Structure 1
């Protein structure tokens, strides 16, 4: 059997961790078994479809490298094909036209709820004969679900699952406007595209018996199902497309690495011994549905930050990291021509930052031509004290012939000793002055990277500025 899986998102919002994990597991299963993986956009819900969502889906899939093996399928472009199948089902009498008005259906539902019954269609139109007066009425088309018996399927993750047909509804497969519905289109597409394994979230379990019965009505073989456990957010609530914190594209913008994202996602529900770090090759080699657990996974963003930092420091090649950093500097409108070499920036900040954008933002002051003089007042020290530090710093830094961080540090220590100033105070004044921050990497390394010429220029400027304050 040639394995074929699919990822079939609806374009009604941004992809989140749950969607992408489904895509990853489907992709890995196909690749592990030398099969095919397809991308299908399930856009039959015309009212809720969003072109931005389609763009988001494609961007995320390409960024993560989850490439598909055939053209992208859009359900909205297959309506004529669906209608042919519905016509066939009407002919075979496994579907029927329902003329009940929406108001009548609502009243029936209210009555059932009042009687504490499970709301479902009472099959009024199930066995109606052709009537000339009915032709003028609007209708939906319903699937003629079996009234008795059971639907059983062996889920690859959850084992045998059984539903009683008497609990199922004669659900709608075509709306009044002529558009087909989700549960119908899914079956027709999976059958037409020869999908062998349907890997999706556990929230689809309730749809599965409906879909299996449609397969049976078409005399078709059902695919193998695997329903993945749900992913909860950090508050242990079901994740939603509306939550921007779990929108995958956000992590691209923040400078996360796709390799780290995939490594994080693959461990949400799947394991391979005690191993935590997986390359894409290792994922494909080792992935198995047998090792997917049934329990829900909880998002841990701290864990993702750790993984991303680990990949930045240990896995991804320096050449690739430098290229990506240049991209993020450009995105932040920072001109890297007038500042330190990117490799020096990476060396200094890689252990302190968890994402590439964080490295860029944290080091942006190194590319400023002029200092923001208001920064010098962030300390609790007097302006006169600050002025003394500026003057002795200017003199000592000017005397350094061979500009290096080690010589800069020796000068700072010497300044403290000779002038009887607290070393901590000198460091804090220089740090706030040149970085605008209360925390930064080693101040001697920062001063070295800024460069002697720019340091002396700005120190002189600060001295003149403070002298004016005393006039």
Structure 2
């Protein structure tokens, strides 16, 4: 058997990290077992489904590296097939027409609640002849739920789950307008796509019992089910906006790397030893469903931020330089030409050591593309005393003639200058950093000057020196 998993989101908003984790687990499980990972867009809610949301889904999955192995399936294009299955069940006597009006259904619910029973459909049309209905009356199609026994589903995460069949009513599978309901469409699509494993959030667990009715009525084998615990906020409550970011788009805009988000989401509810940082190849090699816990996982934003810093430091400098350039594009205070791009990449080893996100990285690299005269923050301004400006004027003479203008030569020149003038190195480096960056933090001053280049350094010092 070839393992075939699927991620089946509804395109009604942003890609939530809970859904992103489900997509990741489906992807890794398929890869681990040498199978296929598929994508189905459940867009039958035409009022809420938008092309913009579809584009966001595709973009988010591509950014996370979760590429499906086959062309995406759009559920809305398969309604004729869904209706075909409903009519097959109807002709086989496994489903029936229900002519109840909304008022009658409401009366049933109210009566059941008054009698202390669950507000379910009472099967009024289950055994009645359709000829009893008024001519031309609209109807829905309902599946005949088993009345006795229980439905048992072995779940690869939750264990064996069961429900008494008496607790399930005859659910609608085809609406009065002929459109299929979600439960029918999901089953038909999973069957036709040869899905072997349905891996999804445990908020779908109760759906499995209803879907099992359709599988068994059609004589189809059930897929293996695995229902993942949901992601909660740090306080154990349902994850919400008050906790922080919830969507892939938000984390991307905040400067997180896809490797870090993937790594964090994998370890959120799945464990394998003490390894914290796992490459994609390692994730594929190690992942299986037996490591998924049953309890809801709590989002730890600080842990994710830490992981992002680790992945930033491991990332390729050229790639990070491109990411920084994209984030700086359009900023009025920053020039972004080939010279500045080269400066960013040259200084990247030092820049990324201090950063936790790409936003941090872009902000810390902004001075490399700023124009003379620079603006100075309060701390830098405080360092640029008249005495410091005079000292910088003297230092500029030495820096103008050193050769080559590289980090080791610059470091040696600064040390000689400080010793000659009776200063500690920091007393020279601190105002120098303020003069060339406009701030009091940067990578090593020797590497910073080398990245800026002699001409730019001379111009920046000259703008403040006395």
SS at match of 1:128: coil
Q: Which deviates more from structure 2 when the two are superposed, residues 449-458 or residues 2-11?
A: 449-458
Q: How many residues align?
A: 454
* Structure 1 match to 2:371: 369
Match of 1:337 in 2: 338
CA distance in 2, matches of 1:230, 1:416: 64
Choose 179-188 or 321-330, whichever is displaced more.
321-330
How far does residue 300 in structure 1 lie from its aligned partner after superposition? 1.7
1:386 maps to what in 2?
Answer: 385
Deviating more after overlay: 202-211 vs 1-10: 1-10
- Match of 2:239, SS? coil
Tell me the CA shift for residue 86 of structure 1: 1.1
TM norm structure 1? 0.87
Name the counterpart of 1:406. 411
Q: Which residue of 2 aligns with 1:175?
A: 175
Distance 2:275 2:378 in 1: 50
**d(CA) in 1 for partners of 2:418 and 2:246?**
47
The aligned runs of 1:273-288 (5 Å cut-off) are 273-288=273-288
Structure 1 CA distance, aligned partners of 2:145 and 2:137?
Answer: 23
Task: State yes or no: 1:359 paired with 2:364.
Answer: no
- The CA distance in 1 between the partners of 2:63 and 2:377, in whole Å, is 42
Deviation at 1:243, TM superposition (A): 8.4
Q: Which 10-residue stretch deviates more, 32-41 or 111-120?
A: 111-120
Deviation per residue, 1:258-305 (Å, 9 max, x gap): 333222222122222222222222222222212222122112222222
Secondary structure, aligned partner of 2:245: helix
1:322-333 maps to which residues of 2 (within 5 A)?
A: 322-333=318-329
Contact 2:100/2:139 (8 A) holds in 1: yes
Q: What residue is the counterpart of 2:18 in the other structure?
A: 18
Q: 1: distance between equivalents of 2:358 and 2:85?
A: 51
CA distance in 2 between partners of 1:174 and 1:429 (Å): 75
What SS does the corresponding residue of 2:199 show, helix, strand or coil? strand
Q: Which segment is superposed worse, 130-139 or 287-296?
A: 130-139
Structure 1 residues 425 and 107: alpha-carbon distance in aligned structure 2, compared to 1, 3 A threshold? farther
Provide the C-alpha distance between the structure 2 equivalents of 1:372 and 1:337, rounded to a whole number of angstroms. Answer: 20
Once the two structures are TM-superposed, the CA of residue 11 in structure 1 deviates from its matched residue by 0.9
1:454 matched to which residue of 2? 456
Spell out, residue by residue over 1:173-214, the C-alpha distance to the aligned partner (whole angstroms, 9 max, x if none): 222332211111111111111211111111111111100011
Q: Quick one: distance in 2 between partners of 1:271 and 1:289?
A: 10
Go from structure 1 to structure 2 and tell me whether the alpha carbon gap of 1:36 and 1:459 turns closer, same or farther (over 3 Å shift).
closer
173-182 vs 455-464, which moves further: 455-464
Give the C-alpha shift of residue 244 in structure 1.
7.4
Q: 1:94 to 1:416 in 2, by over 3 A?
A: farther
Higher mean displacement: 331-340 or 208-217: 331-340
CA distance, structure 2, for counterparts of residue 22 and residue 138 of structure 1: 39
Q: Which runs of 5 or more residues in structure 2 are unaligned? A: 330-334
CA separation in 2, counterparts of 1:376 and 1:280? 41
Pairwise CA distance, 1:106: 3.2
Q: 1:325, 1:356 within 8 Å by CA — same for their partners in 2?
A: no
Question: SS of 1:163's equivalent?
Answer: strand
Contact 1:99–1:137 (CA<8 Å) still a contact in 2? yes
| Distance (whole Å) between structure 2 residues aligned to residue 416 and residue 149 of structure 1 | 93
2:298 is the counterpart of 1:293: no
Alpha-carbon shift at residue 353 of structure 1 (Å): 0.9
Aligned-partner Cα distance in 1 for 2:371–2:413: 20
Q: Secondary structure at the match of 2:227?
A: strand
Stretch deviating more after TM superposition (102-111 or 388-397) = 102-111
Q: SS of the residue aligned with 1:131?
A: helix
Cα 1:138/1:432, change in 2 over 3 Å: farther
Which residue of 2 is the match for residue 192 of structure 1? 192
Tell me if the contact between 2:155 and 2:225 (Cα under 8 Å) persists in the aligned partners: yes
Instruction: Give the secondary-structure state (helix, strand or coil) at the position aligned to 2:354.
Output: coil
CA distance in 2 between counterparts of 1:253 and 1:379 reads: 29
2-structure distance, mates of 1:285, 1:274: 16
> In structure 2, what is the Cα distance between the partners aligned to 1:196 and 1:242?
37
8 A Cα contact 2:350 2:443, kept in partner: yes
Paired with 2:420 and 2:101, the residues of 1 have a C-alpha distance of 89
Q: Retained in 1: the 8 A contact 2:436–2:461?
A: no
Relative distance call for 1:330 and 1:157 in structure 2 (3 A) is closer
Q: Out of 165-174 and 112-121, give the one that drifted further.
A: 112-121
TM-score, scaled relative to structure 2: 0.88
Contact 1:371 1:433 in 2 (8 A): no
Q: Displacement, 1:463?
A: 5.5
8 Å Cα contact 1:61-1:67 kept in structure 2: yes
Greater CA drift, 156-165 or 454-463:
454-463
1:10-40 deviations in whole A, cap 9, x for unaligned?
1112112211221122122222222222111
Relative distance call for 1:365 and 1:111 in structure 2 (3 A) is farther
Q: Which residue number in structure 1 is paired with residue 437 of structure 2?
A: 435
Please identify, of 288-297 and 246-255, the stretch whose mean Cα deviation from structure 2 is larger: 246-255
